[in-house]
Amino acid sequence: MRLFVFFLDPYVGIWVLLLAYAMQLGLCTDPWIQMGTDIADDAGCSGYTWSGSNFGSVVSSSGDGSRLAVSRASNYVRVYEWSDATNWTQSSELAIQTTDLGSSMQISRDGTHIAIGGGGKVAVYEYKSNAWTLKGSFLQSENNPHNGFGDAVSISDDGTRLAVGEPQHGNNPFNCTNEAAQGAARVYEWNTGQSSWDKMGSNFFCHNKTDDKVGHSISISGDGNRVAVGAPETDGPEQCYEYYGAGSFYCSSTSPNRGQVRIYEWSNAANSWQVMGDYIDGSQHDGLGSSASISRDGSRVIVGVPLHDTGCSDGGTAFVYEWDSTSWVKMGSDMTATCEQRQVSNNYGGRYARFGDDNNFGTSVSILADGSHVAVGSGTSRCAFQRKVHKVLDRGCFSYRQGIRVV
């Protein structure tokens, strides 16, 4: 089994350090082994701003870890093969000369399909006859402007079902307010006879009729029958107060931007998507659902809560839930990043700072196909060596390496 973890220095933006998880059960010493040399953008820093080329901002690997897709948004997606057991070899380059296309991406578990989203479009490429070819046509939003269509994508194991998020979607038909970021998500299925992507059922719209950003994160199960949809700005119940006479009301949420994840299951009988169990909700200003990942069989889901206070402000956390046939039950304890006071200066008797504030642990999450391991990433950190913090759940083993925590 391999779990890939990627590092990207946001100030350079051109190096992708690929690490493979090769821990054996019971072995807790140095579990990380780098596979091959660093993968770099051959353009280097030439002609780029201080922020770099964004090569490696999105990465995805096949289920067996032998094929890797690396995106440089608005330019190309490169595919690498682990062919000789010693290094990565570039096998293909998919040109995507569309603004922001490639800001989201996922390769199917069998490694034969790549879904690429962003900039109001989604494209699926299929590998056959030793070449990557566009499968069907580009998918585009039903709205103008696109409102973030393709900002999140997820594809089933065999590449026949595709989930797409559009977190800035507005003006939907379900009597939601006219705020601009209610969000939407939808699922497409490949129609072999028509060689086209057909939408399955209706769109998933706003969770709470406000600026929910439904579809900010999205994850589809291996068979394509279950979908987890995150809406990190969903508010809690509102309280309304009458003022300035009858008929005038002021309404506010008791827990704004708490966030929410809903899991849907496809019903052949009803020919529609049905919500499974209760919603997974966060607390005030948690942003739960900023990231989400569902296991291959759809029985476990991990959700990121990057704005949750854990003793540190916006330290972040992640929760794992399991389906017990009637509801989603939380598994184990919360996963959090390091939060501690450290001495940073000896001046005036010692100056201390709290490290862990604004870590945003849970900005990115991923769960292994069988749901036994998870990886959690942080969005920012006050220390360079903590810029990306990952946590992998594995039978009690615990070690640190280059800002990675393995538990």
Per CATH, is 4-406 categorized as 2.130.10.130?
A: yes
pLDDT of residue 107: 97
Residue 303 and residue 279: Cα distance in Å, rounded? 12
DSSP for residue 159: S
Angle (CA) 397 401 404, round 5°: 75
Of 318, 276, 274, residue with least CA distance to 293: 318
Write out residues in the chain with pLDDT < 50, as ranges.
1-30, 46-51, 173-180, 381-407
Residue 73 and residue 260: Cα distance in Å, rounded? 28
pLDDT tens figures, 249-290: 667 788 888 999 999 999 999 999 999 999 999 998 899 999
39, β-bridge pairs: 16
pLDDT of residue 380: 60
The domain limits of the chain are: 4-406
The residue with tokens 């996922």 is 106
DSSP for residue 252: E
Residue 20 and residue 36: Cα distance in Å, rounded? 10
Pair 235, 208: CB distance under 8 Å: yes
At position 200, the amino acid (one-letter code) is: M
Tell if the pTM clears 0.75, that is, is over it.
Answer: yes
